[in-house]
Structure formats: structure tokens, C-alpha cells
Amino acid sequence: MALVEHVRHSPEEAPAEISKATAATYWRRTSSLMLLMLGIWFVFSFAIHLFAPSLNAIHVLGFPLGFYMAAQGSLIVFVLQLVWFARAQNKIDEDLGVAEE
């Protein structure tokens, strides 16, 4: 009961045969990407806002920088970060031949 052709992963689909070495490399690279992404997330969710009182002394276009980072700056980083993450993870999938057909 597929609506369109590119629906994948029906429950009846056979698991992929992937060598242990490939699986290990894949998960190592995926984990490094995850840690890098969490690092960026942590900096722009928490670390940078610790300095909000000092950053507020700097004004750009009227915006105090500390306020700006929490109101817009960090949000822009989150959006760009997810676009980058999706691309980087796709590349890992393709490099190791574990992407969906």
C-alpha cells in the first residue's frame, strides 16, 4: 500500500548486509559529527549567553549584542547548523555505501 514510489523501509524489507568494519567506521564518523554538533549547540545555547551582560555593552544597529544573540543570533546558528548536519551526515552515508537506495 505505497502512495508513491520513493516510500522506503516497509517492515517487510530485509536488513542490509553491512560488514562489521563498515558499520564500526560508520558509527565512529557519525558519533564524531554528533559530538561536534552538540558542541556547537552547547556554545550557542548556554556558553555564549553567560557573557550576555558584557556583550550588551556592544551595540550593532541599535541591538545590544548579548540580547541579539539570544533573540536572533543563536537561532540563525541553529538553523544553519541543521542544514550543515543533514549534508555532512548524507556524505558519511554515501561514502560508506549505507545510504538508502
Partner 1 sequence: MALSFKGDFTNNLGKIYGVYTGGFAVFVLLLALLEQVGVPDRVIGYLFIFLTIGVYAYIGIISRTAVVTEYYVAGRSVPALYNGMATGSDWMSAASFIGMAGSLYALGYGGLAFILGWTGGFVLVAILLAPYLRKFGQYTVPDFLGARYGGNVARFCGVIVLITASFVYVVAQIVGVGIITQRFLDVPFLAAVFIGLAGILVCSMLGGMRAVTWTQVAQYIILIVAYLIPAILMSVKVTGVPIPQLMYGTALEKIEALEAAMRAAGQVVPYHVAAFTTPNGQFSMNLAINFFALVFCLMVGTASLPHILMRYFTTPSVREARSSVAWGLFFIFLLYFTAPAYAAFAKLEIYQNLIGQRIADLPTIAPWLKNWQLMSPYGVNWINIVDRNNDGILQLAEFAIHPDVIVLATPEIAGLPYVIAGLVAAGGLAAALSTADGLLLAIANALSHDLYYRMVDPNAPTGRRLIVSRVLLLVVAVAAAWTAGTAGSDILFLVAWAFSIAAAGLFAALVMGVWYKGTTNAGAILGMIVGYVVTFGYLMHTEFYGLHFMEIFGTKEAILGAYRQFVGIAVIPAELKAPIQALIANPAQIQDGPLAGWLFWSDSIVLRNRVVGRLWGLNNISGGIFGVPLAFLTIYVVSKVTRAPSQAMQDFIDSIRVPKGGVRLADARQGVKE
Return the SS3 of 63. strand
Q: What does R_g of the chain's alpha carbons equal in angstroms? A: 20
Beta bridge partners of 64: 59
Asked if 2 interacts with partner 1 (CB under 8 A), we say yes
Task: Choose, by CB under 8 A, the member of 28, 91, 95, 99 that binds partner 1.
Answer: 99
Binding mask 62-91 for partner 1 (x = CB under 8 A): xxx-xxx-xxx-xxx-xx-xxx-xx--xx-
Measured between alpha carbons, how far is 99 from 87 in angstroms, rounded to an integer? Answer: 12
Query: Cell for 20?
Result: 562489521
Contact 54, 69 (CB under 8 A): no
Residues 38-67 that bind partner 1 (CB under 8 A): 38, 41, 44-46, 49-50, 52-53, 56, 59-64, 66-67
User: Which residue among 28, 32, 37, 91 contacts partner 1 (CB under 8 A)?
Assistant: 37
CB of 21 to partner 1, least distance (A): 13
User: DSSP labels for 25-72?
Assistant: HHHHHHHHHHHHHHHHHHIIIIIHHHTHHHHTTSEETTEEHHHHIIII
Residues that bind partner 1 (CB under 8 A): 1-4, 6-18, 23, 26-27, 30-31, 34, 37-38, 41, 44-46, 49-50, 52-53, 56, 59-64, 66-68, 70-72, 74-76, 78-79, 81-83, 85-86, 89-90, 93, 97-101
